[in-house]
Chain A
Amino acid sequence: MSDPSLEAPDTAGLEPDTTGHYETETVTEVVDYRRRHWVLSLVLVLLVLLLGAGAYYVWRVSQPVGAPQGAEADGMEWIRSIYGWGELPTQLLVSPTDVAMAPDGTLWTISSKTTIVGFNPDGSAVRVLPFERGGQPGQVGSIEGLDVDEAGNLYLADFGLGKVHVVSPTGTFIREYQAQLASEVAVEGDRIAVATLNGIVIYDTQGQVISQFGTRGNQKDQFDNPHGIAWGADGNLYVSDTLNRRIKAYSPDGRLIYIAPKSMETAKRAGVQAGREMTGTPQTPYQVPSGMTRDAAGRILLVDPFNFSIMAHDSKTGTITASFGEFGSADGMFAYPTGMDYDTGRDYFVVADTANNRLQIVRLPGSGGNALQSALRRLLDGPVWLCLFPLGLLVLALMLWYLKRRWRNRDEPQHEVPK
């Protein structure tokens, strides 16, 4: 029995000879050729399916146990939590109070007030710097806050010793700044802003004081235990005036731009003293505003440990535009969070979820990051990159194959038909 495909040959692309007939042999070969093309296409489709199935398998088995699925009702999306750098009790984070993103994506945090730990964005540990407690050089007292400069050096706000230590990523002490009861530090270019018990001090990179403002109190230009500080995209300095339960914005030259909420004036007129409990003053939406950062959209965000939430603000007015999170120990919930930072490249926020003894990486709506770039970088931080690399290899293989064929055809003698 003859091949049915030969009974009705596909002659598209061919022209009959002068007698109006097709060459039977040529048509058969073309049909065979096209059949091989189908086989090749089938092989490629199967390979892509294999890639997809393999990637899906790895994605499934690499999903952490108990990971929440989907975004929270308020739009916050949990990406991952980091609980430590190992399974031993001594390798788990203890009350991390602050977190800072390095330019290379390393995520630095404080554990037990004396240990600095760096993590990759995928949660694996980069380095652990266990400092000794003490007053000697190379020792620390009680580290409350930290930040990272463009070179990757760490700035540690040492509340216990009243210093800011500058430490290399390998743990070498470079220099130190005297800053009484330093609770937080924010580095932007060559300016280092330090929040102290009584106010704000701004240093240059050599440790010289550029400006200093504020005393302890609840008046307009006073502070009470500020625990959050962030440089805005506009060059202004934003401060969580923690125990005064307000935020303040200062120009680069130290001029007060605004206090939010404005109703805090009411509390001031009522004669509420700094440091005392302000029970009965509901004019402020804050309980104890703490760690601050800014995102790609220029918003100022802070964590409020007693509101168990992240609060986003319009940096121009200090108005709260959104609030995310609730109390709890499940992933995506917070228990007394005290610090946060923003990763511009990956468009996510890292929160020091202090009482849950962990860091949480979350995405928030309206952060203004480059969606494509950040999505790609986040993909590369997770197991999904397993798909991308072989896919690239597949494309490369196909290109090589195509080029090789073209090269060979070019080298072959041309069949010139005599006229």
Chain B
Amino acid sequence: MYLANLSEITGSLTGRENPTLMSEQRSEVVEEDVVQQEPDLLSSALRYAIFFVIAFALTGVLYLVVTNVLDPSAPRTAAEAQLVVVRNAVKTNPNSGANWADFIRALTGVKQYDQAEKELENARRVLKKSDEQRLLIEIAGQELLLAQQKYQEAYIAGNTAIALEKKVRETVVKEAAAKGLRIDPKLLGPEITTGVYLFHARAAGALEKWDEAIDSLDVAITYTPRAANLYFLRGDAYLRSGDKKNATKDFKAALKFDPQYTAAQVGLEKAGESK
């Protein structure tokens, strides 16, 4: 608009008018336009900009309040549904190590590591009086550290969990003996012991401590002798430590329990033998 006025004015000056008079009038008019319009141009733009920013912020806040989108009242995905279920289980029975372990695992599964660490600490505080329940959450803690690729910490946590597992086992056996019962230690939660040693082996393997990894997997296989993945992991540890003979044996054992185990087939080929 301003440029149009300006062009119109300057255009009217060309050729046919009194140059002196026109020049004075033009300067006067242009100056008046500039003085009256230009400060308004910027200030009104800024006013609208501020209005827009405020409207944007208010709309955002209104949307968040109305929809509660950042804190949905109901789960929207399978992962959120799983979290809801396990969180409810913890609320219902906070003295259950299994419930806490499921909760920590679910958080780990969706990569909410910070929250998982907080819940792990909460669980340790709540379950501090029960070694048996605490063992369950320590296993979940091992998984959390492995998921975060904190292998050194996972290795240390694994050693702690192994010590705790032995203590729990001895306690249970002693308590049974006091009642005149004799219990086969292998029958005491084999999946728990397997978990403790498996995750320790994974951490040791990540740190290339192959002998320790093999030792832990030996124990895990003793408690769960039909798990293909345990044989594969031990075969892999043997292979990486240069023991192809035992590696081949373990890869074959893994394929015996799971003939479609692709990684074991590949491992077998690496060990120098075909299936």
Contact = CB atoms under 8 A, between A and B. Distances in A.
A91 B74 contact: yes
Interface string A109-132: 000000000000011110000000
A400 interface: yes
Contacts of A397: 48, 51-52
Interface in B65-102: 67, 69-70, 72-81, 83-85, 87-88
A26 interface: yes
Interface stretch (A13-21, A148-156, A207-215): A13-21
Given A25-B27, A80-B76, A86-B74, A409 B1 contact: yes
Interface stretch (B28-36, B219-227, B236-244): B28-36
Given A54-B56, A383-B63, A417 B17 contact: yes
Interface stretch (B37-45, B130-138, B175-183): B37-45
A83 B74 contact: yes
Contacts of B189: none
A201 interface: no
A33 B76 contact: no
Interface string B184-210: 000000000000000000000000000
Contacts of A80: 76-77
A49 interface: no
Interface string B6-24: 1101111111110101110
A323 interface: no
A50 B10 contact: no
B55 interface: yes
B54 to A, nearest CB: 10
A43 B47 CA distance: 11
A39 B43 CA distance: 11
Interface residues of A, number: 72
Contacts of B112: 65
B49 interface: yes
Given A64-B77, A383-B69, A47 B53 contact: yes
Interface residues on B, range: 35 or more
Contact of B74 (A123, A408, A419): A123
A255 interface: no
A391 B118 CA distance: 40
A10 to B, nearest CB: 12
A316 interface: no
B46 interface: yes
A17 B13 CA distance: 7
Contacts of A86: 73-74
A409 B2 CA distance: 9
Contact of B60 (A58, A82, A88, A124): A58
A52 B69 CA distance: 18
B25 interface: yes
- Most chain A CB inside 10 Å of its own CB: which residue of B34, B85, B88, B112: B34
* List of 7 A-B pairs having minimum Cβ-Cβ separation, nearest first: A66-B79, A64-B76, A390-B56, A83-B75, A415-B29, A64-B77, A397-B48
Interface of A: 13-15, 17-19, 23, 25-26, 29-30, 32-33, 36, 39-40, 43-44, 47, 50-51, 54, 58, 61-62, 64-67, 80-89, 91-92, 122-125, 329-331, 356-358, 383, 385-386, 389-390, 393-394, 397-398, 400-401, 404-406, 408-409, 412, 415, 417-419
